Amino acid sequence: MGWKEGCRRIICIDAAFLKIFLGGQILPAAGRDANEQMFPIAWAAVEGENNSSWVWFITHLQSCLDLGDGSGLTIFSDEHLDILHDVATVLPKAEHRHCARHVFAQWHKHFRGDDMKLKFWSIAKSYSMAGYNDSLDELEKENVDAAASFKAYNPACFCRAFMSDDIRSDAITNNMAETFNGYIVNARTKHLIYMLEDIRVALMQRLVTKVHEMEKCNSVLCPRIQAMLDKEKEKASLCDVILSTDFIFNVKYYLDQLIVNLEARTCTCKKWDKLGVPCSHAMACIEFLNKEAEIYVDECYRKEVYLRTYAAAIPPIEGERHWPRVECKLDPPPIKLGPGRPRRNRIRGTYEDPKRPRQ
């Protein structure tokens, strides 16, 4: 209910191992709220990350969230083949973005060095095709094989320049699903019923806490969005504004020249188009007219939308002693014992933050 009421049409999906002797995995789905934070949608414990599990999970999401064929929807995931196939089958018209961090981890194995790293992210984070092509040309001059390998990963799936403007998000990483997995990292060490109960209680409290925190906010926009807008205001002083009409401007920014349309809420740099928050070029034009920048921020980032998202609550549940008795008996899953000592913590990726909690 909260996702449909106030979140953008973005769903991040991933899988994480259950740290018990029965094995299995948990499949979470998370959205992005108006404050650019994780909003939990659904989670399910399954036998493993395989085709049948993902089809079952995505089909339930489609039914509960009224997703239809996926039109106007963005799905975020890693490049797991089962996810790619099943999303294309169940939600054929959804935009499927791949996590750029996972792509980088594979690409950087063959093209190492900080210079290669900076060039990769410069290409992936470019908002416009002009910026994308310039950054790709720089990589090609440095290393032709690196540029060819980059193109082989299908940049349309993880580079900002190719992404839809309608979703109002410039995210290119699957951080929301990773955040959910980190949020429940301790619960995943417990047996199934206790794990699910811990997750339910933690998220039930989280929804209420988020509402109380936001009610203390005095601005029209959510705090993170307001901070983002303030940064763009600081950069606006570097822009030279030339008036064309009452709402169309020519903006000079260093050696670049752009067109800003305040009525259509667009800019040549494409940052405003994709994110929904005025860029520094647009901010210069807004200040030129002595108008409030907040009115040009997309509605999805407003405090009232955030409160609508968290208005619904996870209901409390009575203890096991009060559950109705039924005749149907369920046997536990078969025990899977692997060779050697069971691993408690997963092996970290080469470029993973060492301060980040293990998942």
* 8 A C-beta contact, residue 27 and residue 49: yes
Give the span between the Cα atoms of 36 and 30, in whole angstroms. Answer: 12
Give the span between the Cα atoms of 120 and 124, in whole angstroms. Answer: 6
Q: 359 pLDDT exceeds 70?
A: no
- Whose tokens are 């005025």? That residue is 278
pLDDT digits (tens, 9 = 90+) for 55-105: 999 999 999 999 999 999 999 999 889 999 999 999 999 999 999 999 999
* 8 A C-beta contact, residue 117 and residue 133: no
pLDDT digits (tens, 9 = 90+) for 191-201: 888 999 999 99
Dihedral sign for Cα 202, 203, 205, 211, please: positive
First to last CA, the chain: 28
Q: 335 pLDDT exceeds 80?
A: no
- Whose tokens are 């417990």? That residue is 190
pLDDT digits (tens, 9 = 90+) for 210-263: 999 999 999 999 999 999 999 999 999 999 999 999 999 999 998 899 999 999
- Kindly state the DSSP code that residue 66 receives in the 8-state scheme: T
